Structure 1
Amino acid sequence: MTFPLDSLRRWPDVEAPDLVAVDAADRLILDESAAARAEVPEGRLVVIGDAYGALTLGAAAAGAHGIRVHQDPLTGERALHANAERLGSADAFTSMPLDAELVEGADVVLLRLPRALDALRDIAGLIAAHASRDVAVFAGGRLKHMTLAMNEVLGADFARLDVTHARQKSRVLVAREPGAGRDPVPARETHAGLVVCAYGGAFAGAAIDIGTRLLLEHLPETIATDGAVIDLACGTGVVATTLALRHPALHVVACDQSAAAVASARATAEANGVRDRVEVVRDDMLGAQPDRCAAFIALNPPFHSGAAVHEGIAPRMFAEAARVLRPGGELWTVWNSGLRYRPALERLVGPTRQIARNAKFTVAASTRR
């Protein structure tokens, strides 16, 4: 019986008729890697970047066991586990961090190509450094998201790179003969005295995006301490670290669902000497935080779910912030002005006032009613 890929769900990520859990690139990676996977001993198959479980569960259905898996978004990891429980494959794989243990001795790696070249560089170097010398990497994606620069990045760590025929607007790059490789090291840049660290794939890298810059310029001079202080969707931890530096008595919680962001935020806090006062957690929005516990939340909301732009992401985050804020607590949000988030903030959180605005971005403070 054919494995029911179409039955996979994105939950707990955003679900909508135009958002899919499986696409043609997943199917092509599985097809192109089928012969190689059939020869792999138990525990020697690795999956990286699986969106919602198609690669992992497809391989498990074909007989693979002991699959090691890394997914950067926590929602993807939770979707994989939920799909596996429903389909009876929960014992076929283990979710792991992106480190040497993940790829140690791997014979076959299935990889959904990340859009960020720095992320691909980190992954390729890690595989080359620690996988089997006979490893085959099947790296695939949608043609609209693939560039020739990806070939160059893989070619820097693998002597042989084969390109498959395109199918349904998807393609697979097959990398073999690894070089020496290397473990990922975060990029570092200094901005007005603030050291920013970023592993590959973290939003904006070691730069500070212009929306966050505007928010930093207008953060309040005093922060209430009668509740938690949170940097939601913290990215590289720029806001959390800045708050800790400006307010030496403050303890800040920085959270993000991206594993690369969490690692970057920890490195940023460490580089600026505030690691003891910045608690970084990987979380799906604010799921680990209790109701009405926060006095202040800062937020630069994402508007992408994976590669898809979706307008439902920010309102979910506003609702989560409203749940976690105590009455009278404040949510400070920066957004691209064209997205017109203020009505949603008024509805979901409470009275909202504009703090600052430039040619592209708006900063507003919403008080929990």
Structure 2
Amino acid sequence: MSAIFDALRRWPDVEAPGLVAVDAADRLILDTSAELRASALPGDIVVINDAYGALTLGAADAGASGIRTHLDAITGERALDANAARVGLTGHYRSGPLDAELVRGVKVVLLRLPRSLDALRDIVGLIAAHADPSVVVVAGGRLKHMSVSMNTVLSENFRQLDVSHARQKSRVLLVRAPRGGRDPAPAAAQVAGLEVRAYGGAFAGARLDIGTRLLLANLPDSPVGGAPNDPFIDLACGTGIIGAWMATRHRGAHVYACDQSSVAVESAKATMLANGIEDRVTVVRDDMLGARPSATASLVTLNPPFHSAAAVTDLIAPRMFAEVARVLRPGGQLWCVWNSGLKYRPLLEREIGPTEQVARNAKFTVTVSTRR
């Protein structure tokens, strides 16, 4: 198994020294679940929240087949496929959405604990509602990302909870005997005159984060674009607040919203439906703007993330700015909000073109960059 782990990569996600594709928590989850997996039949095992395929491929290498797996990020899903091809384990698993079919009748679940309690509540509620009554969930993570509140969430839907000893700053929680359970339902709130919907784990939840608030207050009154063949583009859309705001304030305008996270995409779709604009807003799961043709967009909005999986990194924004530069036509604009301490303006100037500061508060800066 160690030879397989040595071959795993994060690509197409960002790669750099210190950003790993497999860690001690993955190894502990696999070691703890080894006996359970040894007696599992094909189709008995589900993997949820695998980062880059370590859990899925570790189980497959040990003999499991018919594994069902869900990775929230499309970059993680593509990394799993690339890693499987690299180590010769393609065909041992199938990726799917986080829904009832993923966990129906499952007997062993390998779960990398999400950092969000709401996301964990959605996942374990789904398992409890649809898994086999004998299911065992082996849920692990790094100690720095775990809390006692996770035990409480797990106990809401399972009668038995056991806690492993810590190993290499990681720990595993084992839960059995499901009770109740429910399918995930998005949280709902009204913010900025919009109905916002958010499934567990979506950035900011059903709220308006302060950076996005500043961006919305400064977007142009009469933006260029909005036609079906030149929609306003909301990159890294999260729950879809920016795209929904553009669509409701510019009647008849079309919007293209995209995010690499499946929970963000489902949240954004629910937001558009709640505001009655689903016919004018296309929401897609994509890595950056991979599905968009070059030099075709007049306006892109962006609140760039700075997390890759659980790692904080400054490598994501440069990739996003380069992708925006590819998609913008000459004269097209990027309206961007960013943490002022990150000092993105020189990077925006270099990657896209002339950049002006539009607004600034104690923490965030809004800029508009015009494609050369």
Q: Which amino acid aligns with 1:126?
A: L
Q: Provide Cα deviations, 1:59-78, integer angstroms capped at 9, x if missing partner.
A: 00010000000000110000
Aligned to 1:152: 152
CA–CA distance in structure 1, aligned partners of residues 120 and 18 of structure 2: 27
Match for residue 354 of structure 1 among 357, 360, 369: 357
CA–CA distance in structure 1, aligned partners of residues 20 and 282 of structure 2: 34
Please state if 1:311 is matched with 2:314: yes
The answer on whether the counterparts of 2:106 and 2:132 sit within 8 Å (CA) in structure 1 is yes
Mapping of 1:186-205 within 5 angstroms? 186-205=186-205
Q: Which amino acid aligns with 1:13?
A: D
Q: Provide Cα deviations, 1:218-252, integer angstroms capped at 9, x if missing partner.
A: 11101212733100000000000000000012110
Q: Provide Cα deviations, 1:328-352, integer angstroms capped at 9, x if missing partner.
A: 0000000010110000000000000
The answer on whether the counterparts of 1:3 and 1:61 sit within 8 Å (CA) in structure 2 is no
Question: What is the TM-score of this pair, normalised by structure 1?
Answer: 0.99
Per the alignment, in what secondary structure is the counterpart of residue 217 of structure 2? helix
CA–CA distance in structure 2, aligned partners of residues 36 and 348 of structure 1: 51
1:79 is displaced (CA, Å) by 0.2
Q: Which portions of structure 1, spanning 4 or more consecutive aligned residues, are displaced by more than 3 angstroms?
A: none
Q: Which amino acid aligns with 2:295?
A: R
Please state if 1:231 is matched with 2:250: no
CA–CA distance in structure 2, aligned partners of residues 323 and 113 of structure 1: 36
Aligned to 1:87: 87
Question: Which of 359-368 and 186-195 deviates more?
Answer: 186-195
Q: Tell me how large the CA RMSD over aligned residues is.
A: 0.8
Per the alignment, in what secondary structure is the counterpart of residue 10 of structure 1? coil
Aligned to 1:123: 123
Question: What is the TM-score of this pair, normalised by structure 2?
Answer: 0.98
1:184 is displaced (CA, Å) by 0.1
CA–CA distance in structure 1, aligned partners of residues 189 and 266 of structure 2: 16
Q: Provide Cα deviations, 1:231-288, integer angstroms capped at 9, x if missing partner.
A: 0000000000000000012110000000000000000011011111110000000011
1:127 is displaced (CA, Å) by 0.1
Aligned to 1:249: 252
CA–CA distance in structure 2, aligned partners of residues 357 and 340 of structure 1: 12
Aligned to 1:140: 140
The answer on whether the counterparts of 2:4 and 2:87 sit within 8 Å (CA) in structure 1 is no
CA–CA distance in structure 2, aligned partners of residues 2 and 352 of structure 1: 48
CA–CA distance in structure 2, aligned partners of residues 11 and 2 of structure 1: 19
1:2 is displaced (CA, Å) by 5.1
Q: Provide Cα deviations, 1:145-192, integer angstroms capped at 9, x if missing partner.
A: 000000000000000000011100000000100011000000001114
Mapping of 1:168-317 within 5 angstroms? 168-225=168-225, 227-317=230-320
Per the alignment, in what secondary structure is the counterpart of residue 252 of structure 2? coil
Q: Which amino acid aligns with 1:356?
A: A
CA–CA distance in structure 1, aligned partners of residues 244 and 280 of structure 2: 9
1:88 is displaced (CA, Å) by 1.1
CA–CA distance in structure 2, aligned partners of residues 228 and 153 of structure 1: 41
Per the alignment, in what secondary structure is the counterpart of residue 234 of structure 2? strand
The answer on whether the counterparts of 2:199 and 2:264 sit within 8 Å (CA) in structure 1 is yes
The count of residues paired between Structure 1 and Structure 2 equals 369
CA–CA distance in structure 1, aligned partners of residues 169 and 108 of structure 2: 24
